[in-house]
Amino acid sequence: MKTQNQTVRNTKRIRYTKWGYLFIAPFFLVFLIFQFIPLCSTIYYSFFKYFRSGLKIVGPIFIGFENYISLFSTDLPKYFGNTVIIWLIGFVPQIVISLLLAAWFTNTRLNLRCQGFFKTIIYMPNLIMAAAFSMLFYTLFTDNGPAKNILVSMGIVSSQFNFLASVSGTRGLIAFMNFLMWFGNTTILLMAAIMGIDPSLYEAAEIDGASSNQSFWMITMPLIRPIMAYVLITSMIGGLQMFDVPQILTNGVGNPDRTTMTMIMFVNNHMYSKNYGMAGAISNVLFILCAILSLIVYNSFTKKSSFDSPAQKRRGKVNG
Amino acid sequence: MKKARRITSMVMALAMMTGIMATATGCQSNANQSAASSAPASSQEASSEAASSQAEPEGKVLNIWCWNDEFQSRFNAYYPDVKEVAKDKSTTTLNDGTIVKWTINPNENNNYQNKLDAALQNQESAAADDKIDIFLVEADYALKYCNSDYTLDIKKDIGLTDSDLADQYKYTQDLVTDKSTGAIKATSWQATPGVYAYRRSFAKQVLGTDDPEKVQEQLSSWDKFDQVAEKVKKAGLLMLSSYEDDYRVFANNISQPWVDGTTVTVDPNVMRWVDQQKTFTQKGYTHKVRGQFTDPAWTADQGPKSKVFGFFYSTWGINFTLLGNSLAKPTSEGGKEEVGNGIYGDWAVCQGPQSYYWGGSWICGCKGSDNIGTIKKVMQALTCNKEIMKKITIDTQDYTNNKSAMNEIANSDYKSAFLGGQNHIKLFADVADKIDMKNCGPYDQGCTEKFTQAMNDYFDGSIDLAKAKANFEKAIKETYPELTEVKWPS
Q: What is the pLDDT of residues B196-215, one digit of tens each?
A: 999 999 998 888 888 888 99
**Average pLDDT in the A6-34 region?**
78
Q: Of B47-51, B88-92, B144-148, B289-293, which gets the smallest average pLDDT?
A: B47-51
ipTM of the complex: 0.79
Instruction: Please state, as a whole number, how many other Cβ atoms lie within 10 Å of the Cβ of residue B121.
Output: 23
pLDDT of residue B46: 43
Q: How far apart are CA B322 and CA B397, in angstroms?
A: 12
- Answer whether residue B316 shows pLDDT above 60: yes
Question: Please, what is the Cα angle at B301 between B462 and A162, to 5 degrees?
Answer: 20
Neighboring chain A residues of B6 at a CB cutoff of 8 Å: 302
What's the mean pLDDT in A38-54?
Answer: 88
Angstrom distance (rounded) from CA B341 to CA B304:
9
User: What confidence score (pLDDT) does residue A96 get?
Assistant: 94
- Measured CA to CA in angstroms, residue B219 lies from A100, B212, B215, B228, B411 at distances of 63, 10, 6, 7, 25
Of A3-17, A169-183, A189-203, B407-421, which range is least confident? Answer: A3-17
More confident residue, B468 or B398: B468
pLDDT for the residue B6: 63
State the nearest Cα–Cα gap between B255 and chain A, in angstroms.
23
Say whether pLDDT at A312 is over 80. no
Q: Which residues of A touch B25 (CB under 8 A)?
A: 38-39, 41-42, 45, 276, 280
From CA B270, how far away is CA B250, in angstroms rounded? Answer: 6
Laid out side by side, the sheet with B347-350 consists of B310-314, B194-199, B347-350
Q: Mind telling me how many Å the CA of A78 is from chain B's nearest CA?
A: 13
Q: Where are the domains of chain B?
A: 46-191+359-400, 194-355+443-487
pLDDT tens, position by position, B332-389: 888 788 888 888 888 999 988 988 888 888 999 998 888 888 888 888 888 888 889 8
CB contact under 8 A, A273 and B19: no
Measure in Å the smallest separation between the Cα of A221 and chain B Cα atoms: 21
Mean pLDDT value across chain B: 82
Residue B95 has pLDDT above 90, yes or no: no
Chain B residue whose CA is closest to A54: B144
Integer Cα distance of A106 and A195 in angstroms: 7
Q: How confident is the model at residue A8 (pLDDT cuts 50, 70, 90)?
A: low
> Taking CB atoms and an 8 Å cut-off, how many pairs form between chains A and B?
165
Class of CATH domain B46-191+359-400: alpha beta
- B-chain CB neighbours of A166 within 8 Å are 462
Task: Out of A307-311, B154-158, B265-269, pick the least confident.
Answer: A307-311
CATH fold of the domain at B194-355+443-487: D-Maltodextrin-Binding Protein; domain 2 (3.40.190)
Chain B residue closest in CA terms to A303: B6
Q: How confident is the model at residue B8 (pLDDT cuts 50, 70, 90)?
A: low
Q: Which of A164, A242, A255 to mutate to test the interface with B (most CBs of B within 10 A)?
A: A255
For residue A247, what is the nearest residue in chain B, using CA coordinates? B109
Angstrom distance (rounded) from CA A153 to CA A156: 8
pLDDT in tens, B271-284: 999 999 999 998 88
CB-nearest partner of A51 from B148, B150, B481 = B481
Taking contacts as CB-CB distances below 8 angstroms, the residues of chain B near A143 are 288-289, 297
pTM score of the predicted model: 0.79
pLDDT of residue A255: 80
Q: How confident is the model at residue A25 (pLDDT cuts 50, 70, 90)?
A: very high
Does position B441 have pLDDT exceeding 60, yes or no? yes
Query: Is B462 in Cβ contact with A256 (below 8 Å)?
Result: yes
pLDDT attached to residue A231: 92
Q: Pick from A57, A280, A295: which is nearest to B24 by CB?
A: A280
| Per-residue confidence (pLDDT) for residue A15, from 0 to 100 | 67
Distances (CA, A) of B314 to A245, B176, B397: 34, 19, 12
B24 and A282 within 8 Å at the Cβ level: the answer is yes
Between strands B194-199 and B347-350, the pairing is antiparallel
Q: Which residue of A has its CA nearest to B470?
A: A257
Q: Please check whether residue B297 touches A, CB under 8 A.
A: yes
- Residue B462 to residue A165, Cβ atoms within 8 A: yes
Q: From the list A58, A165, A276, which residue is nearest B461 (CB)?
A: A165
Question: A52: which chain B residues are within 8 Å (Cβ-Cβ)?
Answer: 31, 117
**pLDDT (0 to 100) of residue B14:** 54
The tens digit of pLDDT for each residue in A157-202 reads 887 788 888 888 899 999 999 999 999 999 999 999 999 998 899 8
Chain B: nearest CA to A85, how far in angstroms?
19
**Touching check for B144 and chain A: CB below 8 Å?**
yes
* Residue A123 to residue B315: CA distance in whole angstroms: 49
CB atoms within 10 A of CB B485: 11
pLDDT at B126 over 80: yes
pLDDT of B169 strictly over 90: no
3-state secondary structure chain B: CHHHHHHHHHHHHHHHHHHHHHHHCCCHHHHHHHHHHCCCCCHHHHHHHHHHHHHCCCCCEEEEEECCCHHHHHHHHHCCCEEEECCCCCEEEECCCCEEEEEECCCHHHHHHHHHHHHHHCCCCCCCCCCCCEEEEEHHHHHHHHCCCCECCCCCCCCCCHHHHCCCCHHHHHCCECCCCCCECEECCECCEEEEEEEHHHHHHHHCCCCHHHHHHHCCCHHHHHHHHHHHHHCCCECEEECCCCHHHHHCCCCCCCEECCEEECCHHHHHHHHHHHHHHHHCCEEEECCCCCCHHHHHCCCCCCCECEEEEEHHHHHHHHHHHHCCCCHHHCCCCCCCCCCCCCEEEECCCCCCECCCEEEEEECCCCCHHHHHHHHHHHHHCHHHHHHHHHHHCCCECCHHHHHHHHCCCCCECCCCCECHHHHHHHHHCCCCCCCCCCCHHHHHHHHHHHHHHHHHCCCCHHHHHHHHHHHHHHHCCCCCEEECCC
Q: Mark yes or no for CB contact B28/A276 under 8 Å.
A: yes
What does the DSSP assignment read for chain A?
A: -HHHHHHHHHHHHHHHHHHHHHHHHHHHHHHIIIIIHHHHHHHHHTTEEEEEETTEEEEEEE-TTHHHHHHHHTTHHHHHHHHHHHHHHHHHHHHHHHHHHHHHHH-TTT--SSHHHHHHHHHGGGGS-HHHHHHHHHHHHSTT-HHHHHHHHTTSS-TT--GGGSHHHHHHHHHHHHHHHHHHHHHHHHHHHHHTS-HHHHHHHHHTT--HHHHIIIIIHHHTHHHHHHHHHHHHHHHHT--HHHHHHTTTS--STTTT--HHHHHHHHTTTT-HHHHHHHHHHHHHHHHHHHHHHHHHHHS--GGGHHHHHHHHHHH-
Q: Do A283 and B288 touch (CB under 8 A)?
A: no
State the fold for domain A73-319: MetI-like fold (1.10.3720)
Hey, are the CB atoms on B25 and A264 less than 8 Å from each other?
Answer: no
Average pLDDT over residues A23-33: 93
B475 reaches A (C-beta below 8 A): yes
Looking at CA atoms only, how far is residue B1 from chain A in angstroms? Answer: 15
Tell me if B24 and A271 make a contact (CB, 8 A cut-off). yes
Cα nearest neighbour of A60 on chain B: B32
Contact (CB<8Å) B22/A38: yes
Residues of B in contact with A275 (CB under 8 A): 481
Q: Are B457 and A256 within 8 A, CB to CB?
A: yes
Asked whether residue A42 carries a pLDDT value surpassing 50, the answer given is yes
Q: Please tell me the least confidently modeled range out of B38-47, B80-89, B127-136.
A: B38-47
Distance (Å) from the alpha carbon of A38 to chain B's nearest alpha carbon? 6
Say which of A42, A270, A298 has its CB closest to residue B25: A42
Shortest distance between the Cα of A230 and any Cα of chain B, in A, equals 9
Closest chain A C-alpha to B85 CA, distance in angstroms: 32
Q: Where residue A89 falls among pLDDT bands split at 50, 70, 90?
A: very high
Closest CA to B305 of B209, B199, B210, B206: B199
In terms of Cα–Cα distance, which of B150, B291, B442, B111 is closest to A271? B111
Give residue B99's pLDDT. 87
Confirm or reject contact between B25 and chain A (CB < 8 A): yes
Q: Evaluate if residue B3 carries a pLDDT over 80.
A: no
pLDDT average, residue stretch B142-158 = 88
Chain B partners of A279 at a C-beta cutoff of 8 Å? 23-24
- Give the integer Cα–Cα distance in Å for A164 and B449: 18
Q: CB–CB of B460 and A274 under 8 A?
A: no
Q: What average pLDDT does the structure give for chain A?
A: 85
pLDDT value at residue A37: 93
- How many angstroms away from the CA of B26 is the closest CA of chain A? 8
Whether the CB of B299 is below 8 Å from some CB of chain A: the reply is no
Residues of chain B in contact with residue A233, where contact means CB-CB under 8 angstroms, are: 13
Q: What local confidence, expressed as pLDDT, does residue B411 receive?
A: 87
Q: Do A295 and B10 touch (CB under 8 A)?
A: yes
Which residues from chain A sit within 8 angstroms of residue B470, using beta carbons?
Answer: none
> Nearest residue on chain A to B475, judged by CA atoms?
A269
Q: Does B272 touch chain A (CB under 8 A)?
A: no
CA angle A228, A234, A239 (to 5 degrees): 120
Q: CB-side exposure of B145: number of CA atoms within 13 Å?
A: 31
Of A45, A233, A264, the CB nearest to B25: A45
Q: What is the pLDDT of residue A318?
A: 43
